[in-house]
């Protein structure tokens, strides 16, 4: 069974991950994403060298090395997007990624067997039935946005407009169109048919039978009060000048000469801003990152989302104030704060849908794992992979579930 490049089919697939919220940051967002130089030392071994060609079998069906590698590559995408390579990840993490990928592949095979036994036989016709299911989920998520607190909803609308030049409804219809086209094109694919058989089985036998009581929502809200308090945040714009030759995300520093030239240029920009030049216009003209065309807007962000120097400067400003020159690994910044937002506790009615979805997802995942665990008892499973022994590192945390 080859499900490579089809993703983790646990709860992420079951709830059809679709979000209207665009990415908040462009490439010039001053977040600390550059590779950790310490991890660059872990490049001496082939990270996949210990994986056998046949990793495991479930009731005689083989799980191949290529499938496991494809699953690992998807799980590590967040790292590679930050300029790292799989080889640069600590070996302890790689062991965890390999073991999780094998577990996921085995669960897929077991769930497919369960689905087939219950009459969900993979076919092109069955795969296309997922279109209606996914469309209803998208529309339901769109409806839930109307129950957001007004300020959050307006912020989301503004972000969608800025990033995609669409209204929320236009984005929803675009998502539905894209999803329909994708499912239609993939429906002839045998691997995709397997995925949709599992998805539709889970929907009918687990999701549709999972109820969330109002009392559960209230209890969750009261026990997790801190989750429903908006943190202090600021809305800000910035002008960024990155020294020529520097590549912060790849860990490539600028020369001292390039830094001096960038600093001189930023001194001149700051002087013009202080003398009354329009900040947005200056950002459009001089900022080196993708936020420049949007007048340097970074939207709204809270503490912990920016590198320390940038955060400290931004939160020290009052609305309308402009900072001096702030240096980070991304270059030189001038920051203008347009709004400061104090912590606010969200009312139960404002987050009821969100809590409902969270509790439902937890229940669905638990039920699916129960089905899998029970089916495993009667399955013949052979695992041929043995993790290489790596010296224990006390500071190395476990990957989140």
pTM over 0.85: no
CA–CA distances in Å: residue 372 to residues 68, 194, 356, 367: 19, 16, 24, 9
The pLDDT of residue 290: 77
Task: Report which DSSP code applies to 165.
Answer: S
The pLDDT of residue 45: 53
The pLDDT of residue 401: 52
Could you tell me which residues are beta bridge partners of residue 331?
A: 328
What is the C-alpha separation between 395 and 401, in angstroms, rounded?
18
Mapped onto helix, strand or coil, the DSSP state of residue 287 is coil
The token duo for 243 is 């020294």
Mapped onto helix, strand or coil, the DSSP state of residue 71 is helix
What is the C-alpha separation between 248 and 253, in angstroms, rounded?
7
The pLDDT of residue 331: 92
The pLDDT of residue 109: 95
Nearest to 255 by CA among 266, 268, 246: 246
The pLDDT of residue 398: 53
Q: Which fold has domain 232-342?
A: Chitinase A; domain 3 (3.10.50)
Q: Hey, which CATH number is domain 11-226+347-383, 1.10.4030, 1.20.120, 3.40.50, 1.10.10?
A: 1.10.4030
Domain assignments of the chain as residue spans, ordered by start: 11-226+347-383, 232-342
The pLDDT of residue 176: 92
pLDDT by position in tens, the chain (length 401): 443 344 443 333 433 333 333 222 233 444 433 333 333 333 345 678 889 999 999 999 999 999 999 888 888 876 666 666 777 677 777 888 889 999 999 999 999 999 999 999 999 999 999 898 899 888 888 887 877 777 777 878 888 887 778 888 898 899 999 999 999 999 999 999 999 999 999 999 999 999 999 999 999 999 998 888 888 999 999 999 999 988 877 778 889 999 999 999 999 999 999 999 999 999 999 999 778 899 999 999 999 889 999 999 999 999 999 999 999 989 999 999 999 988 888 889 888 888 998 999 999 999 999 999 999 999 999 999 988 776 554 444 455 55
Is residue 340 within 8 A of residue 259, CB to CB? The reply is no
56 by Cβ neighbours in 10 Å (0-12 / 13-18 / 19+) ranks as buried
Could you tell me which residues are beta bridge partners of residue 326?
A: 333
Q: CA 175, 176, 181, 185: dihedral to nearest 10 degrees?
A: 100
| 374 phi, psi to nearest 5 deg | -70, -40
The token duo for 151 is 């300020």
CA–CA distances in Å: residue 394 to residues 23, 370, 397: 34, 32, 8
Could you tell me which residues are beta bridge partners of residue 341?
A: 233
Task: Report which DSSP code applies to 68.
Answer: H
The pLDDT of residue 25: 29
């Amino acid at each position: 069974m080859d499900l490579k490049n089809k993703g983790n089919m646990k709860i992420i697939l079951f709830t059809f991950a679709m979000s209207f919220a665009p990415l908040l940051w462009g490439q010039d967002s001053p977040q600390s994403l550059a590779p950790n130089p310490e991890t660059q030392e872990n490049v001496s071994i082939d990270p996949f060298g210990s994986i056998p060609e046949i990793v495991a079998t479930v009731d005689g069906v083989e799980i191949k090395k290529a499938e496991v590698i494809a699953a690992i590559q998807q799980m590590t995408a967040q790292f590679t997007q930050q300029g790292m390579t799989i080889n640069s990840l600590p070996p302890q993490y790689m062991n965890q990624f390999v073991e999780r990928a094998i577990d996921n592949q085995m669960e897929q095979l077991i769930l497919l067997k369960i689905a087939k036994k219950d009459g969900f036989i993979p076919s092109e016709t069955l795969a296309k039935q997922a279109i209606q299911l996914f469309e209803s989920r998208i529309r339901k998520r769109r409806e839930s946005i109307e129950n957001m607190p007004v300020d959050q909803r307006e912020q989301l609308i503004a972000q969608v407009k800025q990033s995609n030049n669409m209204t929320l409804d236009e984005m929803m219809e675009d998502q539905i169109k894209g999803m329909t086209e994708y499912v239609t094109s993939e429906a002839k694919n045998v691997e995709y048919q397997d995925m949709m058989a599992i998805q539709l089985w889970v929907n009918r036998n687990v999701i549709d039978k999972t109820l969330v009581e109002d009392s559960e929502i209230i209890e969750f809200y009261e026990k997790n009060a801190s989750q429903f308090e908006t943190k202090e945040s600021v809305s800000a714009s910035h002008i960024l000048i990155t020294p020529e030759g520097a590549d912060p995300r790849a860990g490539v520093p600028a020369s001292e000469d390039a830094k001096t030239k960038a600093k001189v240029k930023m001194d001149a920009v700051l002087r013009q801003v202080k003398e009354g030049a329009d900040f947005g216009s200056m950002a459009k003209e001089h900022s080196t990152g993708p936020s420049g065309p949007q007048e340097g807007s970074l939207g709204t962000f809270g503490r912990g989302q920016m590198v320390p120097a940038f955060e400290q400067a931004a939160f020290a400003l009052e609305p309308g104030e402009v900072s001096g020159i702030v240096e980070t690994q991304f270059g030189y910044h001038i920051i203008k704060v347009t709004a400061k937002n104090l912590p606010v506790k969200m009312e139960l009615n404002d987050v009821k849908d969100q809590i409902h979805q969270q509790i439902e997802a937890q229940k669905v995942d638990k039920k699916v794992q129960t089905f899998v665990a029970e089916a495993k008892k009667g399955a013949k499973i052979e695992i041929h992979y043995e993790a290489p022994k790596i010296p224990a590192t006390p500071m190395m945390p476990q990957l989140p579930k």
